[in-house]
Amino acid sequence: MQKLIEQLINGMTVGSFYALIALGYTMVYGVLSMINFAHGDIFMVGAYFGCFTITQLSASGFTQAHPILAIIFTFLAGALGSALTGITVERLAYRPLRKASRLATLISAIGTSIFLQEFVRLIPKFGSSIASIHFGEKNLFPESWSTAITNVTKTFGGAMVKTYPGVLGTAGIKLGEIAISYSRILILAIAIVFMVLLYLLVRLTKIGKAMRAVSEDKDTASLMGINVNRIISNTFFIGSALAGIAGVMMGLFYLQIRPTMGFTPGIKAFTAAVVGGIGNIPGAMLGGYILGLAEVISIQFLPAVYKDIVAFTILIVMLIFKPTGILGGSGGKNKL
Amino acid sequence: MNIISSSNVTKRFGGLEAIRNLDVEISEASITSVIGPNGAGKTTFFNCITGYYKPEFGNILFLEKEITGLPPHRIAEEGISRTYQNIRLFNSLTVIENILAGEHTKLHCSFADSLIASKRYRMEETESIKRAKEILSFVGLSGCGDQLACNLAYGAQRRLEIARAIANSPKVLLLDEPTAGMNPSETVEMIKLIRRLRDKLNITIILIEHDIKLVMEISEKIIVLDFGSKIAEGKPLEIQNDPTVIEAYLGKKNSLYQ
Amino acid sequence: MKEFASKLFNKLDQRIIRYVLPSLISIVILSIPLINSPQKNLWVRIIGYAGLYIILGLGLLVHVGLAGMFDLGFAAFYAIGAYTYAFLASPHFNIHLPFLLVLVLAGSFAAIVGLLICIPVLKLRGDYLGIVTLGFGEIVRMLLMNLTNITNGSQGIFKLDKPSILVMTFTSGTFFYYFIFILVALLLFLLNRVINSRTGRAWLAMREDEDVAQMSGINTSKYKLLAFALGAFIGGMGGAIFASWQGSIFPDNFNMNVSINILCVIILGGLGNQFGVILGAMALIALPDILRGFSDYRMIIFGLLLIIMMILQPQGFLPRKAPELENKVLKQGKKKKEVQS
């Protein structure tokens, strides 16, 4: 019994990650009818921004002095980093293809995904190349700048795994026999808070209404005076920010990040969005938790290495038999 | 014997009945028009006949044989072809290739045949190209054969759609607004073509049209749909004077706008 | 950009493109192993490897360019073919079947798996299909990784048999090189014929507009299955050749990057043009290996290339050359070029 509850808590934790990332997928699919294949990498970028922030803050002693503030800044950095990446990607790689076939957009998204992964991996190289730009004998940048650029880029990215300082600690509360760490509570709390905020935003605010209008019918929405491009940018901003928050959470919880960390959670979050009904916001949340729990339960019956296969199999089965998901979405039957 | 008959056909989308209890009889080698205000269910009816939609109730018979719910390619094999309201050609293929694609059910060359260049492959290639050229000249597109379909002028594209549709020697041809967007002289040519299709090739024509003048001139029977139901049926003169039809198009006699 | 490219191609005499250029390229390719240079083996390996990617690219082209079925997990068929070779021609299970037989078996087995995968996804469209095939690709890789009793997992399988045809054993890279390019030529020839036949036109029609193709009498399910099986067969053969050449295989030889590489190859060459696959393979596989210094930047350039290509020219730089059928027979005698509209 105790083990069951512990596993349930595990599942809810994992599910929180999937749910937050899935929201971004579902929102973008809602307004653009496209699968943002690079969304998982936007999640990864957030983790890196967060890692950089918390590492610098810890190095300067800030974290020790003001731990809560430090964590908040880290989340902000991750969210902002992801959000800015998201709207840049939309502007450069997706907007020009608005009228093109959906296949073209998917290919562009794949290209973006590769680009983001490689960019983060190669940043130190770019940094040192830029720092050493020279005209003949003279360097472009003064010594201090060069070193700064090289160091910043080296700290930010690279092929090697990066580690988050263990700020969350392992302390927790005890409910009877069951130990729940503070970090798990934090993750669940953050996830739920943001999901509720998003739901309220979409249902009650003017922007939310505009987003819903754009997902119904882009062209009519623009005829009604809605600035469709701006709404789409906003959607990407919010969706990517949520993914960035998930990325920071992942870093704080699992401590290790790498440039390729976005692929598997990305696919799983997409599965979650499909399970809940792609295009459906509560569906993404529901799907995330269902997937998290399913994964954790499957470890009881299968060797742990097959965990990822479970997610892929659920994805394939859902897309084949119930593409509209549990709560109903667009279902991928739209004509190209 | 009717070449096509439908009885009690109903097609629903969610809560909306696009067509309801439709009973229709089309006689062989006739030219019938289906008319009605927008949204009356005309294209839905065509889609049911060609197997693109499966009706919730009712049967559709082709030469007394039930075709309701058959997959679209089987219905095409049986001998029913169509054109589309918005031109839907195979744009990246040439004009001749479009017709060759249309000949699909008439040919038997399999994948294996083309792989080994069997006799059947070689014979069918020559035959089918020859036939495609005959069809080109029938619809008046000779010489355009190697152009890409998307590069043709609008009127020519409509004719190519018809060419593709008759490529498999259908017995019935459904034309969905064949003269939409055409000027009067193109419309006259289209009328001639439609008559040629029936007179020379013995194809039964069912036509959806908004051009009432054309409908009156060419039809032997007119079926009028409104809100998914058949509201009138008969010869052109009868339909012209039918009060229900006039009401459907123009509104009630005592309304403010009369 | 599009207009410039098409004007350029129109200006060059059709005959140069049709006959002279391919002949030149063929001569160059055929003579590479005959150069007397210390670097010869390197070149043979690089260009030969590109040739292998031409074969894989053709397989994927059948899926994507002909059947219109977007396949992001093509490496799975490559893997199945390779592991079939490893099972049937190595000390692993101590089975040693002859090369050509295993080649056919590898292709067939991949084709069967292709059919099984294709049946449930027949109704899926576009990007959803892409994700499902991606999932299949990853599942295959994970199974290869984890069913260690059968596949040796990440340790891989070693000492694969060297191929031999009749009395000739492939003792050096040159044998593989020529075999690959002979196969490439054969595939191009056969594919070209199939594309310009009833089957090919059914595929192209399906790709253009699936609903209309159906209502024109084309059984799209059957043709999708056929295309999927054919593409998978070609991929499987490629896998067997790869396995026999490299001598050993590991699950990581068939990861998602490989699927993406093959995708890049066909996108660069144009999605309807089988000859463009040659261009794509040479540009994407041979070039980076030749420009050694850039190998670290290869993937990021691929990524950018995909984005840029989609924005500038989604059809690739070599659109399909539409065959001239109306004027073909008329070439004897007067050519009636006047168009009557």
Give pairs for A127-130: CB < 8 Å, separation 24+.
A127/A152, A127/A153, A127/A154, A128/A153, A128/A154
| Cβ-contact A280, A203 below 8 angstroms | no
* Pair B142, B153 in one domain: yes
> Which two three-digit tokens encode residue A147?
């070193």
b/e burial code for range C186-196 (CB count within 10 A of at least 16 → b) = ebbeebebbbb
Phi, psi of B205 (to 5 degrees): -110, 130
Whether chain C lies against chain B with 3 or more Cβ pairs closer than 8 A is: yes
Which domain range does residue A59 map to?
A: 2-156+181-321
Decide if B156 and C341 are in contact by the 8 Å CB cutoff.
yes
Orientation of helix B154-166 relative to helix B119-139, angle to 10°? 130
CA closest to C339 among chain B residues? B143
| DSSP, res B117 | T
C341 at the B interface (CB within 8 A)? Answer: yes
The pLDDT of residue A310 is 85
Output A167 or B44, whichever has higher pLDDT. Answer: B44
pLDDT band at A316 (very low <50, low <70, confident <90, very high): confident
Instruction: Enumerate residues 6+ apart whose C-beta is below 8 A from C34.
Output: none
Evaluate if residue A113 carries a pLDDT over 50: yes
Lowest mean pLDDT among C145-154, C255-264, C286-295: C286-295
- Averaged pLDDT, B229-244: 88
Q: Is residue A165 part of a domain?
A: no
CATH code of A309's domain? 1.10.3470
Using the Cβ of B82 and the Cβ atoms of chain C, whether some distance falls under 8 Å is answered with yes
pLDDT at B222: 93
Shared-domain flag, residues B180 and B224: yes
Q: Do B104 and C202 touch (CB under 8 A)?
A: yes
Tell me, yes or no, whether B74 and B182 share the same domain.
Answer: yes
pLDDT at C176: 87
Chain C residues within an 8 Å CB radius of A118 = 297, 299-300, 303
Over residues C300-324, mean pLDDT: 74
Domain limit, last residue, from B167, B189, B224: B167
Determine, yes or no, domain membership for A176.
no
Nearest chain A CA: its distance from C306 CA (Å):
5
Q: How confident is the model at residue C332 (pLDDT cuts 50, 70, 90)?
A: very low
Q: Which residue of C has its CA nearest to B126?
A: C329
Which residues between 142 and 201 in chain A have a beta carbon less than 8 angstroms from any beta carbon of chain C?
none
Using the Cα atoms of residue C225, residue C227, residue C228 and residue C230 in order, give the sign of their dihedral. positive
Q: What token pair was written down for B62?
A: 């082709």
Q: Do B and A share at least 3 CB pairs under 8 Å?
A: no
* Pair (B148, B179) in one structural domain: no
Residue A39 contacts residue A59 (beta carbons within 8 Å): no
The verdict on C41 touching B (C-beta cutoff 8 Å) is no
Q: Do B44 and B119 lie in a common domain?
A: no
Q: Do C215 and B77 touch (CB under 8 A)?
A: no
Q: Are residues B161 and B224 in the same domain?
A: no
| pTM, to two decimals | 0.86
Q: Is the pLDDT of residue B89 over 90?
A: yes
* Whether residues B47 and B161 fall in one domain: no
Which residue type is seen at A15? G
Number of structural domains, chain B?
A: 2
Angle C305-C310-C314 from CA coordinates, rounded to 5°: 125
Residues found in chain A: 336
DSSP per-residue codes, A34-97: ---TTHHHHHHHHHHHHHHHHHHHHHTTHHHH-HHHHHHHHHHHHHHHHHHHHHHHIIIIIGGG
SS3 C29: helix
Rg (CA), chain B: 19
SS3 for C66?
A: helix
Nearest by CB to residue C198, choosing from B50, B52, B104, is B104
Report if residue A136 sits inside a domain: yes
Q: How confident is the model at residue B219 (pLDDT cuts 50, 70, 90)?
A: very high
Q: Quick one: B177 and B162 in the same domain?
A: no
Closest by Cβ to C300, choosing from A102, A106, A119 = A119
Residue after which a domain boundary falls, among B135, B167, B199:
B167
Quick one: B48 and B17 in the same domain? yes
* Minimum-distance CB partner of B148 among C216, C322, C339: C322
Does the residue A166 lie in any domain?
no
A163: which strand partners? A256
A216 has pLDDT over 60: yes
Whether residue B57 sits in one domain with residue B6:
yes
Residues B162-203: pLDDT tens digits? 999 999 999 999 999 999 988 899 999 999 999 999 999 999
Partner-chain contact C134 A105, CB within 8 Å: no
B174/B206 Cα distance (integer angstroms): 5
- Please give the tally of structural domains in chain A: 1
Q: Which residues of C touch A267 (CB under 8 A)?
A: 131, 134-135, 138
Q: Looking at CA atoms only, how far is residue C151 from chain B in angstroms?
A: 34
Long-range contacts of B243-251 (CB under 8 A, 24+ apart): B248/B36, B248/B37, B248/B224, B249/B37
- Mean pLDDT is lowest, of A19-23, A136-140, C53-57, C172-176, for A136-140
Residues in C closer than 8 angstroms to B120, CB to CB, are none
pLDDT of residue C15: 61
Helix (H), strand (E) at residue B35: strand B31-35
SS3 letters across C125-157 = CHHHHHHHHHHHHHHHHHHHHHCHHHHCHHHCE
What is the C-alpha to C-alpha distance for residues B35 and B250, in angstroms, rounded to an integer? 14
Segment B42-60 mean pLDDT: 92
- CA distance, residue B105 to nearest chain C CA (Å): 6
Counting as contact any 3 or more CB pairs under 8 A, the partners of A are: C
Using CB atoms within 10 Å of the CB of residue B5, give its burial: 0 to 12 exposed, 13 to 18 middle, 19+ buried. Answer: middle
Report d(CA C72, CA C260) in Å as an integer: 7
Tell if the CB–CB gap between A110 and C72 is shorter than 8 Å. yes
**Res. C113: pLDDT tops 90:** yes
Q: Which residues from chain C sit within 8 angstroms of residue B165, using beta carbons? A: 216
Out of B140, B167, B194, pick the residue that ends a domain.
B167
Is residue A66 situated within a structural domain? yes
Amino acid at residue number A146: S
Shared-domain flag, residues B133 and B175: no
Which is more confidently placed, C326 or B158? B158
Min CA distance, A278 vs chain C (Å)? 11
Containing domain of residue B139, as a range? 88-167
Task: Give me the helices (H) in chain C, please.
Answer: 2-11, 14-15, 21-31, 40-61, 75-88, 99-121, 126-146, 148-151, 173-195, 198-208, 210-215, 220-246, 256-268, 276-281, 287-290, 298-312
**pLDDT given for residue A334 in this prediction:** 37
- 8 A C-beta contact, residue A311 and residue A271: yes
Look up the CATH number of the domain holding residue B210: 3.40.50.300
Partner residue opposite B82 with nearest CB, options C198, C215, C320: C215
- Give a yes or no: residue A161 inside a domain: no
Q: How confident is the model at residue C89 (pLDDT cuts 50, 70, 90)?
A: confident
Q: Which residues of chain C lie closer than 8 angstroms to A270, CB-CB?
A: 131
Query: Stretch A204-233: mean pLDDT, rounded?
Result: 87
Instruction: Using the structure block, give the residue that is written with the tokens 């069809």.
Output: B135
Predicted pLDDT at B250: 67
C31 vs C209, which has greater pLDDT?
C209
Query: Would you place residue C269 in the very low, low, confident or very high pLDDT band (cuts 50, 70, 90)?
Result: confident
Residue C175 is predicted with a pLDDT of: 85
pLDDT of residue B252: 56
Most B CBs within 10 A among C211, C223, C325, C332, hence the mutation to make, goes to C325
Take residue A37 and report the two structure tokens written for it: 């294949």
| pLDDT score for C320 | 64
* C128 phi, psi to nearest 5 deg: -65, -40
Asked whether residue B245 falls in the same domain as residue B174, the answer is: yes
B211 touches chain C (CB under 8 A): no
Name the least confident of B153-167, B193-207, C116-130. C116-130
Classify residue A167: in a domain, yes or no. no
Give the tokens for residue B217.
């001139």
List the single residue in C with minimal CA-CA distance to B108: C198
